[in-house]
Structure 1
């Protein structure tokens, strides 16, 4: 009867050597250490071999750093493994997040910098200005009428004097400049729409351009990020050779308590095909 009980509940079918060799860390080092010591007490191994078995069963992120120390005692290996595990917990958020936000690389992007496309001046002698008011039918101005209104500083859609921030009585919210060359080809030109900003578009002699890198704050091989001082404030300045004008964020201007004034709205072309409006200027900055 005694022999039958031993056969039924004994450990004659277990091989602790095989178990300790196949033992792997699945959770924390402390739990792995307890399971390893439980099997180690049932076998006779020299300490050097036991150290190798313990390190071999650790997770790769724990075992690889401590191998370089060439530890010879189990107590040192236990302590070093727990320290490495704690270090990995602290550094894990850094490994999971990118260090720098960069543009997605494509093979053809090396020789193609992101620069604003150069568009022709929309106020030349062969252009017409067309205004739309909701669902009303568009009306057109001849070049002569356009020049007369510009000389008198009048709104293109009425006879009132134009000034920055002026609201047309017809509640106009957009102006579109269409080239005659597009009409001859039966094509629509690029329509530039600016809502709740101004009704008359005044273009400069050369259309201002701003690089998409400068707008988004990303670095490229044509940009250089430097630090500057304005009084006691530190500013991050992005020098971009793809931009033709200098631009300052309006929120930054207010936080620095800079003096800025309203000016003739300036249309700025951005490299992504869109455009922005600059309605203020900051002198002597």
Structure 2
């Protein structure tokens, strides 16, 4: 019985294996059928595409055969055959269905494809996510018994990859604004305008103007465009004009920019002309000018020759003096039909007027008052400065205000460092309105930076007695029989500026001051030292004296334990540039001279390299990496406390 039982169990196991094998075969056959079905569908698509291409080819042959007589009559001209040129059907991966459907329709219309061929050709050019969607759509539509026509295909494609109903192109078009360039704004506007329906031409023009920047939109409105194309054309011309004007202003060496005047700077007060040191303003040199100065060996900031350790002579003040004329010129000059300078002006010209550091550089200082005023309805910043003896205006600001110019002779501007500037322009009867009070003043034009107008003693003397409260920034005087009060602006607190902001301000011009701490490396006279300190220094002279040689020799100066079996580490030197090689030889010679190093015949060698420091000098470094690899590192046990 036991034997029969074992046989039955063995037969059951074999039968189970046979059943499992049959199940695997059935599963594999099902997978094979699915693969075959997929291949059949793919072959059908390929056949449909081939039929479409065959149809296109037949159309081309019929068109060329029908146009052969005309081409023969016209000689070498081939007017008809150019219609059926080679065109690539656009591929679609799921990005923008609007553009792809538009190009597909152009292709179908040009190639005259029938509706039943459009789906096959279009689906053949789907990629990635779009191709996976097509496989799913085809399976679902086949199960539901729906034939996929071009209308169905277009509707399903738009629903899958097009925008949702929540996104409104009409709302997006009405809100589009120009935040960057005009070209970017035009691209966004045309993209949205292409997707809206029912907008009249006037609405498109109004929306386009509403999104433009004000400086461009105002110019377009004045032209009263009738079509959107005309409005875009005028806007582009205005944008090019603005861009060209900005480039011209950036290339001009005199600042500030026309958008705003540079803030005027604080001066000194009280009717006593004081001379102060004026910092040199930042100059923005053109590349050609920089190259010429470099070739001549001149400093970029001044006209002196540049040498190591060169320091520019900072201008301390501006002086206006009467130009010296020869006796011969005085005799031969004929009277001119120009207004003669009054007594005050001649006195001012003779006394060599000054302009202070605060007025020149916009630097905040004591006893200064800054006011907001208007000239020809244009806002300017005025600085009341009793340390300046004349009224000054920046040449740049004067040109922007288009003030009438009176040519004067005999005035030069002498800078305290020896340089000279010419002053040949004077602006008379300039209407200045300060806090509701109107004055007529005379201004001398100079190429100043960092200020708009400076009112000096020339203006203060015309006011009579003036009571100034510099702490509260008020100035009280009598004008036209009434007491007047002017209030100055509070000084802004000094804030830290970033590199980006400093670079931005440099485009408009300004003044830069550098304050440095100079270290006094003077040896203290030992005679003035206390006796006990001097005695201590004499006792330990070897410790306090500056080392000029190596330390005293010992039995073992220095020991570098190497790993067992390691030969001498000998690394060849690096390849250096010529100037680095010269610097290495120079430093080696100096170290040999001072005794820091000495000639060695050791078989060990390590290469050296130079590392540039912040001050421009070179640091002598030795590359011991190869030696460190074979060196036994020092290990010192850390004592621990035992707890019994």
TM-score (normalised: structure 1) = 0.39
User: Greater relative contact order (Cα 8 A, min sep 6): structure 1 or 2?
Assistant: 1
Greater percentage in helix: 2
TM-score (normalised: structure 2) = 0.19
Higher CA-based Rg: 2
